[in-house]
Amino acid sequence: MDLNAITKDWLNALPHRKWNDTTPIYDQILFYGNGSQHESGWGCITIVGCTKGKPSEICCECADDLEWIMPPPITYGNHVQFGMMRVDCLLRSGVMRAHSDHCRFKVSEARSSVTIALIKKECADG
């Protein structure tokens, strides 16, 4: 699947995860402002979980705040550190994509503030 070719309308048509669910653990996360205003005055964020590189479900559409929990960076020797997450932007839709070579993503319940925890792959896979 070419993520750069998808639209927000296509993503908005995905099935919704139950609001109080926290499974599954995703390979990647897509997130974008959806044009709605939260009662706090901030914009609402849609979060989409991806499995095997393909968007699979909408985790949340009501968050106005994302908290990222990260494991420590990987250190090689005394000076070289690699972060655990990267973010890029899908070309057609402008949607942001969080991805990692070392971690998977666990998204909390759909609430005003959503926590996204990065879990090292060896821990996430069992």
Query: pLDDT for 63-95, tens place per residue?
Result: 999 999 998 888 887 777 778 899 999 999 999
Does residue 25 carry a pLDDT above 90? yes
Q: Domain map of the chain by residue range?
A: 3-124
| Cβ-based neighbour number of residue 49 at 10 Å | 24
With pLDDT > 70 as the criterion, what percentage of the chain qualifies?
A: 97
| Cβ-based neighbour number of residue 91 at 10 Å | 12
Query: pLDDT for 89-114, tens place per residue?
Result: 999 999 999 999 989 999 999 999 99
pLDDT, residue 110, reads 93
Q: Is the pTM of this model over 0.75?
A: yes
β-pairing, 43-51 with 54-63?
antiparallel
Task: Measure the CA–CA gap between 108 and 111, rounded to whole angstroms.
Answer: 8
| Cβ-based neighbour number of residue 4 at 10 Å | 13
Nearest to 71 by CA among 113, 108, 121: 121
